[in-house]
């Protein structure tokens, strides 16, 4: 998913990847994209100019702290987003109650005294370690910055379908 700065032809870095991750997480949580248009031009306008609706406007049962994280991932300005995947990972750990609140400018846990209990309400049946590992894996993937790597030769071929 293209970030606003990439769409504008500006220099991109890992924060652009974090924007794309935010779009992916939004879609995973809601089943829809945060922004849409009737045409490519309309979609590009939305990405460049319109704020994404809060994930809670679609899924009000999600924790406010998670909505705050997604809002930050989907910020139009790269400076308003998480600056690194590690910073995002720490916030996700804080949300799940597994980390130490030591990141400046962090998202508060919201109205609930136990953010993990609130999180469990939207992830029923999941073990804490599975949920934590899934979030952290996503954050670790965001720490890598393929946009700075010009070696894309291995990405040009068609993927092989799985064999049974």
User: Is 145 buried (19+), middle (13-18) or exposed (0-12) by CB count in 10 A?
Assistant: middle
Mean pLDDT of the chain: 74
pLDDT bin (cut points 50, 70, 90) of residue 112 is: very low
Mind listing the pLDDT tens digit for each residue in 22-75? 999 999 999 999 999 999 999 999 999 999 999 999 999 999 999 999 999 999
Q: Where are the domains of the chain?
A: 4-101+113-145
CATH class of residue range 4-101+113-145:
mainly alpha
Taking the mean position of all CA atoms in its chain, how far away is CA 139?
Answer: 8
**Whether the predicted model's global pTM rises above the 0.85 cut:** no
> How distant is the alpha carbon of residue 96 from its chain centre?
16
Tally Cβ neighbours within 10 Å of residue 46. 17
Cα–Cα distance, 157 to 144 (Å, whole number): 21
Q: C-alpha 161: how far from its chain's center?
A: 28
């Amino acid at each position: 998913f293209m970030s606003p700065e990439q769409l504008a032809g500006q220099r991109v870095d890992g924060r652009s990847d974090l924007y794309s991750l935010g779009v992916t997480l939004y879609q995973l949580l809601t089943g829809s994209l945060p922004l849409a248009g009737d045409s490519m031009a309309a979609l590009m306008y939305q990405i460049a100019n319109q704020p994404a609706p809060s994930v809670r406007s679609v899924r009000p049962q999600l924790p406010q702290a998670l909505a705050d994280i997604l809002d930050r991932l989907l910020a139009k300005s790269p400076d308003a987003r998480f600056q690194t995947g590690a910073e995002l990972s720490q916030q996700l750990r804080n949300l799940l109650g597994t980390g130490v609140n030591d990141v400046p400018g962090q998202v508060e846990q919201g109205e609930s005294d136990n953010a993990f209990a609130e999180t469990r309400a939207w992830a029923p049946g999941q073990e804490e370690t599975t949920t934590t590992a899934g979030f952290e894996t996503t954050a670790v993937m965001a720490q890598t910055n393929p946009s700075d790597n010009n070696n894309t030769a291995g990405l040009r071929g068609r993927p092989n379908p799985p064999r049974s």
